[in-house]
């Protein structure tokens, strides 16, 4: 008797719909029941059918360099858990998410780039209280002010969901979310994420207050339209957002810090493999639309490998290799005598990761 192939993400850069037809059952401890907004889902379907140039370029060009990548991506899809990926800069941690989103037709990638000032609330949503106050004052000056009836009318114009908040909207397919370089975050941010990762939901406090006001005034309050991260309108029921499918989340870390066990146990972890043995294939795939460049790339690859053998591996990235190949073999008029100097200039060692 044949065994069903459990692999959903294959890494073959060919879009398919298996995420719906063969997506495995949700583990009992990871079930979510957010109600899908049909109008919003129709907008997402259009996005999925026409991927952006960035999604198509990065998704198609990514090369899976180890079977471990396939195993861990599919495990995250099955378990509905974030994937915490460590590795050197330029090793493909971010590009992997684009490859998954492209192959599984998850729509445009939502990106949260972490800095030392990043906080959970801004990633969930932002409320423009000052803009709303200014509008209220203008209406009052024009004689158009009226008592708030508790319906929440108009407040949605001043709420915009962030990348994490948009990723948690209830949708038929999981959204793709990149939390990039979490090692730069404030010390408390990983702990702040625990509830969101565990429950797959959050509340918008400004809308919750209107829900209570509506109850006191016996006024109907159910749905308020707000804008998502892309500027599309979606209706929020009772001030709460709860996912239907937990998003596919990749969290990148350049190895700059360690994280608390409470955060790590809510993630799957792996380190991006070093693509030394796959450099030729990576170059070929990146230049598949310009084979004449790839055919001349071997001397540059060899020089890159020589630098690695000399002990510079931790300080060189495949991005630098691609840059060097493009400059000296891309038909820009650089004469052979200048090529070595160009290559050395571009392949300068980078500062080590702190």
End-to-end Cα, the chain, rounded Å = 52
The pLDDT confidence band at residue 147, using thresholds 50, 70 and 90, is very low
Work out whether strand 248-253 and strand 233-237 pair parallel, antiparallel, or are unpaired. unpaired
194 shares its domain with 300: no
> Is the residue at 354 inside a domain?
no
77 shares its domain with 166: yes
Across the range 244-258, mean pLDDT stands at 90
280 shares its domain with 333: yes
> Is the residue at 351 inside a domain?
no
Angle of CA points 140, 146, 152, to nearest 5°: 110
**Range with lowest mean pLDDT among 39-43, 95-99, 222-226, 244-248:** 222-226
Structure tokens at 341: 């100097």
Q: What's the chain's length in residues? A: 354
281: domain range? 276-346
Residues 273 and 96: beta-carbon distance below 8 Å: no
The pLDDT confidence band at residue 231, using thresholds 50, 70 and 90, is very high
pLDDT for the residue 256: 66
100 shares its domain with 120: yes
Instruction: Select from 219, 236, 271 the last residue of a domain.
Output: 271
80 shares its domain with 177: yes
22 shares its domain with 128: yes
Which tens digits make up the pLDDT trace of 76-129?
A: 999 999 999 998 877 889 999 999 999 999 999 999 999 999 999 999 999 987
Residue 147's Cβ-count burial label (10 Å; 0-12, 13-18, 19+) is exposed
202 shares its domain with 245: yes
Query: How many structural domains does the chain have?
Result: 2
Cα dihedral 329, 331, 336, 339, rounded to 10, equals: -50
Instruction: Select from 252, 271, 290 the last residue of a domain.
Output: 271
Specify the pTM: 0.85
pLDDT for the residue 3: 46
Structure tokens at 122: 């801004």
The pLDDT confidence band at residue 7, using thresholds 50, 70 and 90, is very high
Which tens digits make up the pLDDT trace of 49-68?
A: 998 999 999 999 999 988 99
Residues in Cβ contact with 49 at an 8 Å cutoff, skipping those fewer than 6 apart: none
Instruction: Select from 253, 271, 289 the last residue of a domain.
Output: 271
204 shares its domain with 305: no
């Amino acid at each position: 008797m044949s065994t069903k192939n459990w692999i959903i993400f294959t890494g073959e850069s060919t879009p398919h719909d298996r995420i719906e037809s063969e997506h495995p059952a949700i583990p009992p401890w990871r079930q979510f029941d957010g109600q899908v907004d049909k109008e919003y889902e129709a907008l997402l379907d259009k996005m999925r059918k026409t991927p952006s140039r960035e999604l198509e370029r990065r998704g198609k060009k990514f090369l899976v360099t180890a079977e471990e990548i396939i195993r861990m991506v599919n495990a995250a899809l099955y378990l509905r858990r974030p994937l915490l990926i460590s590795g050197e800069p330029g090793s493909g941690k971010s590009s992997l998410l684009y490859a998954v989103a492209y192959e599984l037709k998850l729509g445009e990638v939502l990106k949260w780039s972490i800095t030392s000032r990043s906080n959970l609330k801004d990633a969930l949503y932002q409320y423009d209280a000052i803009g709303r106050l200014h509008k209220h004052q203008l209406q009052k000056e024009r004689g158009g002010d009226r008592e708030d009836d508790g319906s929440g009318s108009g407040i949605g114009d001043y709420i915009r969901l962030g990348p994490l908040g948009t990723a948690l909207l209830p949708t038929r397919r999981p959204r793709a979310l990149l939390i990039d370089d979490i090692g730069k975050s404030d010390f408390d941010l990983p702990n702040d994420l625990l509830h969101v990762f565990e429950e797959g939901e959050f509340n918008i406090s400004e809308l919750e207050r209107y829900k209570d006001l509506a109850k006191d005034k016996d006024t109907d309050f159910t749905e308020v339209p707000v804008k998502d991260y892309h500027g599309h309108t979606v209706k929020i029921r009772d001030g709460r957002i709860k996912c239907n499918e937990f998003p596919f989340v990749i969290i990148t870390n350049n190895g700059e810090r360690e994280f608390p066990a409470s955060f790590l146990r809510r993630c799957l972890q792996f380190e991006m493999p070093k693509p030394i043995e796959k450099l030729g294939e990576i170059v070929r795939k990146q230049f598949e639309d310009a084979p004449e460049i790839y055919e001349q790339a071997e001397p540059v690859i060899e020089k890159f490998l020589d630098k690695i053998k000399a002990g510079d591996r931790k300080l060189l990235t495949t991005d630098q290799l691609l840059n060097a190949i493009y400059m000296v073999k891309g038909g820009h008029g650089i004469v052979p005598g200048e090529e070595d100097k160009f290559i050395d200039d571009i392949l300068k060692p980078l500062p080590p990761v702190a």
